Amino acid sequence: MRASLFITCYNDTLYPETGRAVVSLLERLGVELDFHPKQTCCGQMHANTGFRGEAFCQAKRFVQLYRDTETVVIPSSSCVAMMRDQYPGLFEELGNESLRREFAALLPRVFELSEFLLDRLGVDDVGAYFPHRVVYHASCHGVRALHLGERPYKLLAKVRGLDLAQMANTDRCCGFGGTFSVKNAEVSSAMLAAKLQDVIATRAEYCTALDNSCLMHLGGAMHRQYAGMKTIHLAQILAATEDAPAEAIA
Amino acid sequence: MTQSVADHPILDPRFAPPFPQAVLPVLRNPQLRKNVAHAIDVIQAKRGRLVAEKTDWQELRTAGSALRAHVLENLGTYLEQFESRCTAAGGHVHWAADAAEARQITLDLLRQHNASDVIKIKTMTSAEIQLNPFLEAQGVHAHETDLAEIILQLGEQEPSHIVVPALHINRSQVREIFARTMGLKNLSDDPKELTNAARRYLRQKFLTIPTAISGANYLIAETGGVGIVESEGNGRMCLTLPQTMITIAGIEKVLPRFQDLEIMLQVLARSATGERMNPYTSLWSGVTPGDGPQNFHVILLDNGRSEMLRRPVERQTLKCIRCAACMNTCPVYRQTGGHAYGSVYPGPIGAILTPQLMHMHHAQSLPYASSLCGACYEVCPVKINIPEVLLELRSQVVNQERRQVGRVFDLMYIGLRMANFLFTSAWRFHLAQRLGRIGARLVTRKDGWIHSLPSIGGKWTQTRDLRGLPDQTFHEWWAARAKEAK
């Protein structure tokens, strides 16, 4: 099987280890990967801040770069949610007929990482080994926009050595919200503090998620507070084996 | 932020500070935050249990949503039907284009009936049009009869929630307010004693004031009837004892048929208070000789609603049945409570409703008072896609900014325009990454983390660190790997 990676702006710049983990994981599963060097951003930050015209430019770029690919894999649930929830409206308002047609044809081939593994490849055991206590943060976009449901838990259940902790209020927002974290920094920080209480109470060594934006938020506070917990993208846990242990974010 | 704002939050969007400033006194008030979080956690848990027991909950939401959407598509027809049926049953229907007109009609009616005092059932529309202070200035005293509204009125406090408006006040604070204003020195904070004190206070009002004001949960087009749901029975007293009743209702409140209550009553109480059924449901049509108010007036309030109706995305705001499930589940509201929204409508629904009631001339910070987590949409019993409306309103706010000269000094605006310039070219994006890496070295500490950023980045680092930029981006790694493979 062939698949194209879309490693969105902040993952490319700030968390390249997530992209590298996706490569090692999927190649181990026999997927032939390619990566378009001209990709930049899905446009979510602009769309969510009200800059629809700018978001449209980036959405159009994505369709133009990926329209001929067989499958697109994105290790960021909020970027996938952006495409499913917001691209149709943007193209309806600002795009032309051919763009709308190309996007409609492309969208069913766009997968979030856990969707790709379970729905497309049909594997839940990816042969991972991660001997640590881990808690999963069900990010808002993963839960309520993509309806990932049990997918991440199915994957985590098959990781050898992994001790999965349960978090209270697991699907409550961590307070990141993109530019919300800066525009409403004080409220965002209060939400983060509330979330962190639930995360820390699990006594896990790692907090994982399918979205590095939440993890950047949680991990930034963990580091500031000497919390003794680190964040790690689920792709990095799934890529880890006895021979090649994972590299943590924080 | 001055202390006075903390003491007296301004719930008028024309004068309230923007949300990011308005939250500051609240976030520094641990008692208020504890009261809010405790109250909504209790309601949320009850709601969760009662929704879970309904096997057809999603079907009910779908039906509720379809019903409300149908009403909005045929609003004129149903309103005219309501007017003619209500009039035929002996009621009088008045149309108010805006808040000022609704206030004036109310005052004229009260003067017609020589009312110097009026009792009120809890009503959001009267709060929306700021009726009480207006009547007070005209020499008419409005007496609230809902327990929470009494607490607020006597304590001279502002509501912070649309269903449980005094949820930011705990019972020892209620005791203090009642003891002080009712002259009950030995009052304890036992809930039973507190409600008995309120009951004695209320009885005297019910028995002496012959004029009442209410809102409406439902206007029923088929019968010309009005419906009120409540928990305490104060509404039932207001609907039976007085001679004159004035009902102020938003034009969107209409339902086509009596039978539609089947859906609405199932979803409302579960969503609002976490009950299977609200304790009191009162329905009346016009005037019945010898039974209940003999003079009945309905004021149908537009106040910006027609404009919302014209816009396909924003229109869904009018589906709202004021259950408050959105604010009870909202992680922002859980931290801030209602006062920071600077409006009688707080929470996610307030964030979309208030700016629209202000014709987008005020409250532009409210559409940004959300992390877009989507919890509100998930619980909404009539499926209002609040995040979608928030985004639409944000786009309108940005379009206003694009026309303002001051935008060149707005770092967020400049930053986002710049980011778009970078993101629309891989070459520019990659150059910016390389320059950013050099710049980041200046602020990255020995532990590899950035603890303090300049400018708006400081908003991030006030509570979170940021890991320093890695030496190699993903696309650089991919290119290097491809080269090696050759």
Q: Taking the domains of chain A in order of start, what are their residue ranges?
A: 2-120, 133-249
CB contact under 8 A, A13 and B466: no
Cβ contact, residue pair A185, B459, below 8 Å: yes
Chain B nearest CA to A145, separation (Å): 8
pLDDT reading at A140 higher than 70: yes
CB nearest to A191's CB, from B332, B372, B459: B332
Nearest to A224 among B24, B368, B464 (CB): B464
Q: Which residue does chain A place closest to B374, by CA atoms?
A: A144
Domain residue spans of chain B = 5-307, 409-485
CB spacing of B374 vs A224 below 8 angstroms = no
| Second CATH level (architecture) for the domain A133-249 | 3-Layer(aba) Sandwich (3.40)
Mutation choice for A interface testing from B478, B481, B483 by most A CBs within 10 A: B478
pLDDT tier for residue A3 given thresholds of 50, 70 and 90:
very high
Length of chain A: 250
Residue type, B118: V
For A233, the token pair is 């993208």
Taking an 8 Å cut-off on Cβ atoms, the answer to whether B463 and A189 are in contact is yes
Using the predicted structure, report yes or no on whether residue A110 has a pLDDT greater than 70: yes
Answer yes or no: do B426 and A40 touch at CB < 8 A.
Answer: yes
CATH superfamily of B5-307: NagB/RpiA/CoA transferase-like (3.40.50.10420)
pLDDT higher than threshold 90 for residue A250:
no
Count residue pairs from A and B with Cβ separation < 8 A: 199
Which pLDDT belongs to residue B7? 60
Q: Note the pLDDT of residue A137.
A: 97
Residue A117 has pLDDT above 90, yes or no: yes
* CB-CB under 8 Å, A185 with B373: no
Query: Would you tell me which residues 32-91 of chain A have a C-beta closer than 8 angstroms to some C-beta of chain B?
Result: 35, 37-41, 43, 45-52, 54, 57-58, 61, 86
Q: Mind giving me the DSSP string for A154-196?
A: HHHHTSBT-EEE--TTTTS--S-TTTHHHHTHHHHHHHHHHHH
Which residues in B lie closer than 8 A to residue A144 (C-beta atoms)?
373-375, 377-378
Secondary element (H or E) of residue A57: helix A52-66
Residues of A within 8 A of B419 (CB-CB) are: 41, 45-46, 54
Interface contact flag, B475 A175, Cβ < 8 Å: no
Model confidence over B262-310: pLDDT tens digits? 999 999 999 999 999 999 999 999 999 999 999 999 999 999 999 999 9
Closest Cβ opposite residue A186 in set B20, B416, B475: B20
Please answer yes or no on whether A13 and B433 come within 8 Å at the CB atom: yes
Q: Inter-chain contact A12–B474, Cβ cutoff 8 Å?
A: yes
Residue ranges of chain B whose pLDDT lies below 70: 1-7
What is the 3 state secondary structure string of chain B? Answer: CCHHHHHCCCCCCCCCCCHHHHHHHHHCCHHHHHHHHHHHHHHHHHHHHHHHCCCCHHHHHHHHHHHHHHHHHCHHHHHHHHHHHHHHCCCEEEEECCHHHHHHHHHHHHHHCCCCEEEECCCHHHHHCCHHHHHHHCCCEEEECCHHHHHHHHHCCCCCCCCCCCCCCCHHHHHHHHHHHHCCCCCCCCHHHHHHHHHHHHHHHHHHCCEEEECCCEEECCCCEEEEEECCCHHHHHHHCCCEEEEEEEHHHEECCHHHHHHHHHHHHHHHCCCCCCCEEEEEECCECCECCCEEEEEEECCCHHHHHHCCCHHHHHHCCCCCHHHHHCHHHHHHCCHHHCCCCCHHHHHHHHHHHCCCCCCCCHHHCCCCCCHHHHHCCCCCCHHHHHHHHHHHHHHHHHCCHHHHHCHHHHHHHHHHHHHCCHHHHHHHHHHHHHHHHHHECCCCEECCCCCCHHHHHCCCCEECCCCCCHHHHHHHHHHHHC
The CA distance from B219 to the nearest CA of chain A, in Å, is 34
Nearest to B424 among A19, A57, A224 (CB): A57
* Helix/strand/coil for A60: helix
Q: Pick B429's closest partner by Cβ from A11, A40, A219.
A: A40
Mutate to test the interface with A, among B435, B472, B474 (most CBs of A within 10 A): B474
d(CA B155, nearest CA chain A) in Å: 27
pTM: 0.96
CA distance A215 to chain B (A): 11
pLDDT at position A246? 82
Q: Do B478 and A37 touch (CB under 8 A)?
A: yes
Tokens standing for B358?
A: 């202000």
Residue of chain B minimizing CA distance to A55? B420
Classify the complex by whether its ipTM is higher than 0.90, answering yes or no: yes
pLDDT in tens, B177-206: 999 999 999 999 999 999 999 999 999 999
CB contact under 8 A, B371 and A223: no
User: Which has the closest alpha carbon to A184: B273, B21, B438, B173?
Assistant: B21
Pick from A23, A180, A219: which is nearest to B371 by CB? A180
Q: Which of A17, A172, A179 sits opposite B331 (nearest CB)?
A: A172
Q: What integer pLDDT is reported at residue B4 of this predicted model?
A: 42
